[in-house]
């Protein structure tokens, strides 16, 4: 809009008869900019215009003021029309946090008349802690499409930016769009969708999913290879051993194998071998006859093998099965028969078996913790489930799935997850795999009450060590001291004799020639503790999280201690 300002030569006057020749007047070339010429009017109301040749004329300060006033009026008309045409609630506040402009859109959204608010502090009409424009004015923060609530009954999307002049913030502009109706409709939709999902789950219990892979999310190459293997397995009735770390969803894959190769009415019975006491394991697996032992059901009880008849028995955490039962399971696999506890009549096992483990069974065999013959019976076909760190490209799809699930469960309105949060999710190694990711998404859904997911909602393990700022000193344990003091070390330099030793974790000082004062004593302790910390840190390969765990203290305590010692 700068072209609306007057050009200096357009104001040139050539009638010199009205000039007071007694005045001192500055002479400037015709190429002078208006901004450069204005300060020269301090000495005279006229400026003479002359290049290399004769005098061209003069400029009067009254003409400049009149032209600039017209330019200002024209700029103001353009400015006001532009703001009113934007279609959103536009607000301008000045350096004193007073409202200087209030569009008709703002009148409509906030139900506050323009004449009632202009020139008054914005905080008189809204809670200051809810005003993004005030935060922008005071901090210079710029936001784009941020969801916020200027009032408890109003939801809006806001863009805010500071107004800067000569490097100083002189005001703030906020543009807001009322989304209260959309939020309420979305909440109603979430509520109705939640009801529909409950109904779908009820129907699903009566009618199994037609797609066996519906609950397995991920389109990475390793996942496609895994699903291809399942399709091949499903064409056989062979025993399957599923290998994978904890939290990878081994039961989901076992269920997919079952759904692909069994009729819809066939049972799928799962048993966690690590969750059943050894004394009850046999009766759970094989069942028992009436009167088999004291406290038993007088009618007897069917075991999991019998319940899985015609379908699949899934033995999760097979490595936890007691050794004395492994031989009995081997008989089931070899002879398809077994005896219930307290029974004398052999029963036929007509179920297919899928086993799963997160342990190294071959290593357990070498330690006599797992039977080798059972391993080879189970490992007819094996399926290796990749950990999440090997298929990080699936994190986005999994996150969206869990986000939708928990948004419905906790009635949260979350439009998206910002890139900085996704970056932390992708950089993490996920030792707990998909189960851990699901828990993390549930956590951030619960903490996100304003629709904006923030990095601080993630657990502390997601924040790199060099970015962690400890805020709480939550314990003050003594630093263990398993190392001996080395000649030339910090402890030795602090005044400890080389004959001093560490005995049973305590420093035994045989002699010390230095004078002991409270200050020097503390300095020696600090120097000794610094040396030990540096040795521990080196042994932990620089990993502060590992070091804190080894020392039995929190990371906050470790960071504060290192900061105090200047490390």
Q: Which domains does the chain have, with CATH numbers?
A: 2-69 (3.10.580.10), 86-178 (3.30.450.20), 221-386 (3.40.50.300), 390-463 (1.10.8.60), 490-565 (1.10.10)
pLDDT tens-place string over residues 364-385: 999 999 999 999 999 999 999 9
Query: Which of 107-116, 286-295, 327-336 is most confident?
Result: 327-336
Point out which residues pair with 382 in neighbouring strands. Answer: 241
Tokens of 375: 């391993």
pLDDT tens-place string over residues 123-175: 888 888 778 888 888 888 898 888 777 777 778 888 899 999 888 899 999 88
pLDDT tens-place string over residues 398-426: 998 898 888 878 888 776 788 888 889 98
Q: Cβ distance 152 to 169 under 8 Å?
A: no
Query: Which pLDDT score is estimated for 484?
Result: 36
Query: Which pLDDT score is estimated for 499?
Result: 40
Query: Which pLDDT score is estimated for 198?
Result: 65
Query: Which pLDDT score is estimated for 363?
Result: 92
3-class SS letters over 397-408:
HHHHHHHHHHHH
- What CA–CA distance (Å, rounded) separates 506 from 522? 17
- What CA–CA distance (Å, rounded) separates 80 from 85? 9
Tokens of 293: 């032992």
pLDDT tens-place string over residues 77-105: 887 777 777 667 888 999 999 999 888 88
Is the pLDDT assigned to residue 349 strictly greater than 80? Answer: yes
Is the pLDDT assigned to residue 442 strictly greater than 90? Answer: yes
Strand (E) or helix (H) holding 61: helix 61-85
Query: Which pLDDT score is estimated for 556?
Result: 66
Alpha-helical regions (H) of 413-488: 419-427, 433-447
pLDDT tens-place string over residues 353-364: 999 999 999 999
Taken in order 104, 105, 111, 117, the sign of the CA dihedral is negative
Judging by beta carbons within 10 Å of its beta carbon (0-12, 13-18, 19+), is residue 343 exposed, middle or buried? middle
Residue 106 CA: distances (Å) to CA of 130, 175, 400, 426: 16, 9, 35, 41
Is the pLDDT assigned to residue 466 strictly greater than 60? Answer: no
Q: Which runs of E-coded beta strand occur in 435-530? A: 501-503, 506-508
- pLDDT category at 297 given cuts 50, 70, 90 is low
Across all residues in the chain, what is the average pLDDT?
80
- pLDDT category at 208 given cuts 50, 70, 90 is low
Is the pLDDT assigned to residue 187 strictly greater than 90? Answer: no
Q: Cβ distance 9 to 33 under 8 Å?
A: no
- What CA–CA distance (Å, rounded) separates 315 from 317? 7
Tokens of 196: 């529909």
- What CA–CA distance (Å, rounded) separates 340 from 285? 9
Q: Cβ distance 346 to 289 under 8 Å?
A: no
Coil/strand/helix, residue 562: helix
Query: Which pLDDT score is estimated for 378?
Result: 93
Q: Cβ distance 530 to 490 under 8 Å?
A: yes
Query: Which pLDDT score is estimated for 377?
Result: 93
Q: Cβ distance 560 to 533 under 8 Å?
A: no
Q: Measured over all CA atoms, what is the biggest interatomic distance in the chain, rounded to whole angstroms?
A: 135
Tokens of 11: 């104001």
């Amino acid at each position: 809009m700068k072209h609306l300002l007057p050009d200096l030569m357009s104001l040139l006057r050539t009638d010199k008869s009205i000039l007071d020749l007694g005045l001192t007047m500055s002479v400037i070339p015709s190429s002078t900019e208006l901004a450069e010429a204005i300060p020269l009017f301090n000495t005279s109301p006229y400026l003479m215009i002359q290049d290399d040749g004769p005098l061209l004329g003069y400029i009067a300060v009254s003409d400049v003021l009149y032209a600039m006033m017209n330019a200002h009026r024209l700029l103001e008309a353009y400015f006001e029309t532009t703001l009113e045409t934007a279609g959103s609630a536009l607000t301008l506040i000045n350096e004193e946090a007073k409202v200087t402009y209030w569009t008709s859109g703002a009148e409509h959204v906030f139900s506050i008349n323009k004449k009632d608010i202009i020139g008054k502090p914005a905080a008189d009409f809204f809670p200051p802690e809810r005003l993004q424009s005030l935060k922008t004015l005071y901090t210079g923060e710029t936001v784009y499409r941020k969801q916020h609530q200027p009032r408890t009954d109003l939801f809006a999307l806001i863009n805010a930016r500071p107004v800067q002049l000569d490097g100083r913030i002189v005001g703030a502009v906020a543009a807001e769009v009322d989304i209260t109706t959309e939020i309420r409709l979305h909440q109603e939709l979430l509520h109705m969708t939640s009801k529909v999902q409950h109904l779908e789950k009820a129907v699903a219990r009566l009618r199994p999913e037609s797609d066996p892979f519906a609950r397995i999310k991920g389109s990475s190459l390793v996942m496609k290879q895994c699903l291809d293997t399942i399709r091949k397995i499903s064409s056989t009735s062979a025993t399957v051993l599923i290998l994978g770390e904890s939290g990878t969803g081994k039961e989901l894959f076992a269920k997919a194998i079952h759904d692909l190769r069994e009729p819809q009415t066939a049972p799928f019975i799962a048993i966690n071998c690590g969750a059943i006491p050894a004394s009850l394991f046999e009766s759970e697996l094989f069942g028992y006859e009436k009167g088999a032992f004291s406290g038993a059901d007088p009618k007897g009880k069917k075991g999991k093998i019998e319940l899985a008849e015609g379908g699949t028995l899934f033995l999760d955490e097979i490595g936890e099965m007691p050794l004395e039962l492994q031989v009995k399971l081997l008989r089931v696999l070899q002879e398809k028969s077994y005896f219930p506890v307290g029974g004398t009549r052999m029963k036929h096992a007509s179920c297919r078996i899928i086993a799963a483990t997160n342990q190294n069974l071959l290593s357990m065999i070498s330690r006599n913790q797992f039977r080798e013959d059972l391993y080879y019976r189970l490992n007819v076909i094996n399926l290796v489930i990749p950990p999440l760190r090997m298929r990080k490209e699936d994190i986005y799809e999994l996150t969206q799935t869990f986000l939708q699930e928990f948004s419905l469960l906790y009635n949260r309105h979350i439009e998206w997850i910002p890139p900085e949060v996704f970056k932390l999710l992708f950089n993490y190694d996920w030792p707990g795999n998909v189960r851990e990711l699901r828990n993390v998404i549930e956590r951030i859904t619960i903490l996100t009450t304003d629709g904006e997911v923030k990095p601080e909602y993630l657990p502390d393990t997601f924040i790199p060590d060099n970015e962690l700022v400890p805020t709480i000193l939550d314990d003050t344990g003594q630093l263990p001291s398993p190392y001996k003091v080395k000649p030339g070390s910090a402890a030795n330099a602090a005044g400890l004799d080389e004959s001093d030793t560490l005995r049973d974790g305590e420093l035994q000082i045989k002699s010390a020639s230095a004078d002991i004062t409270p200050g020097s004593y503390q300095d020696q302790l600090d120097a000794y503790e610094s040396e030990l910390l540096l040795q521990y840190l080196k042994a932990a390969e620089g990993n502060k999280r590992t070091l804190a765990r080894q020392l039995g203290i929190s990371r906050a305590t470790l960071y504060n201690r290192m900061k105090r010692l200047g490390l």
